[in-house]
Amino acid sequence: MKPYFLIVTMFVFFKGFTQDPIHTQFFMIPESLSSSFTGAKQTTRAGIIHRTQWPGLNFSINTQFAFVDNWFEEVNSGIGLSVLNHKETATRYNFTQVNLNYAYQFAISDNWNVRPSLSVGYGAKDFGFQNVVLEDQINIFSGIINPNSIDPINLNESIRFFDFSASVLFNTENSWVGFTIKHLNNPNISMNYEGQERLDMFMSLHGSINLPFKPYSSDNKLFALFNAMQQGSYNRVDLGLKYDLDRFSFALLAATNPNKVSPNSHFLTSMNAFIGMNWEGFRFGYSYDFNMTGIGRTGGVYELSITYDFLNNSNCFGCPDY
């Protein structure tokens, strides 16, 4: 009965699975948010970020994003690959997508560059229905589980789809502002053979603005961070500050829900603390999201990120600071 109830519950809340995974550390690995950052450091870079959400519940969600990209000076372009994997432990829902990313850079003034980009992805979603036992398969009196079911639910175990996205980034050496639209083709992600469940477009306006601040050292900087996201009826705005202190970085962000989906929705959903470190081309980051709602003891959300710059080109002229 429990697996059958799980299937029914899954379809009631299926809209929840059409939302894109969101990372707190969008400023550490912005490639997870925008393909315009492909090759932005004018070097060869690789990185990975791991996110675990609500480990204190039986509904934990794990997300990994990895990328590698390279800058081609002769054509002012960056090309890279990225992989996103997202798994929900209770329902065994799994989503994996591989993207090929391309970005082109040109200057519009002495200080500002523009980086338009395109991204083509191939995704796969599945729920592992092969392990589900439906109600009419169970014979209580004989204790036998029948191999066949007459249940009208006609489901794919997995689906495959192509996905297209576009982004643009405006940047100086110390600040950047970008806009991303994902799922331009609204791919069909329905698990039903004849179903139509279009993936809503994901839109994001994001930035890191260097604030006028006179620190003790020229290497110390203060940034205002923001990331406003909209997908279907769901929205989120992250606002915060990041302070770079020599090799270390500290940040504090507030995750908000401005347009509440229901009367019980909270405006402030979490407070997110971050600490990072740079070392010999490596950048390490750790963040923890403190839940500000009444959902209970969720265990919060934490992220671990690592990137490596093969040329240690963190101070290249005209590159965005992140």
Over residues 31-45, the pLDDT tens digits come to 999 999 999 999 999
Q: What is the CATH number of the domain that holds 246?
A: 2.40.160.40
Whether residue 166 lies inside any domain: the answer is yes
Using CB atoms within 10 Å of the CB of residue 249, give its burial: 0 to 12 exposed, 13 to 18 middle, 19+ buried. Answer: buried
Query: Domains in the chain: how many in total?
Result: 1
User: In this predicted structure, what is the pLDDT of residue 148?
Assistant: 61
CA–CA separation, 14 vs 317, rounded Å? 46
Rg for the chain, CA atoms, rounded: 22
User: In this predicted structure, what is the pLDDT of residue 275?
Assistant: 97
Whether residue 232 lies inside any domain: the answer is yes
CA 123-105-311 angle, to 5 degrees, is 85
Which helix or strand (DSSP H or E) is residue 269 part of? strand 268-279
- Domain extent for 72: 2-309
Strand pairing category for 176-182 and 202-210? antiparallel
Taking alpha carbons only, the member of 102, 105, 159 closest to residue 129 is: 159
User: In this predicted structure, what is the pLDDT of residue 279?
Assistant: 92
CA–CA separation, 6 vs 90, rounded Å? 9
Whether residue 64 lies inside any domain: the answer is yes
Strands (DSSP E) along 14-133, which ranges? 45-53, 61-72, 77-88, 93-104, 106-107, 113-126
CA–CA separation, 100 vs 43, rounded Å? 17
Per-residue pLDDT of the chain (322 residues; tens, 9 = 90+): 444 334 433 433 444 456 899 999 999 999 999 999 999 999 999 999 999 988 777 778 899 999 999 999 999 999 999 999 999 877 678 899 999 999 999 999 999 999 999 999 999 988 765 555 555 656 656 656 666 665 555 566 688 999 999 999 999 989 999 999 999 999 988 877 677 888 999 999 999 999 987 765 667 899 999 999 999 888 999 999 999 988 999 999 999 998 876 777 788 999 999 999 999 999 999 999 998 887 767 777 999 999 999 987 766 777 898 8
Whether residue 322 lies inside any domain: the answer is no
Residue 35 DSSP SS3: helix
Whether residue 314 lies inside any domain: the answer is no
CA 166-171-172 angle, to 5 degrees, is 165
User: In this predicted structure, what is the pLDDT of residue 139?
Assistant: 62
Which helix or strand (DSSP H or E) is residue 273 part of? strand 268-279
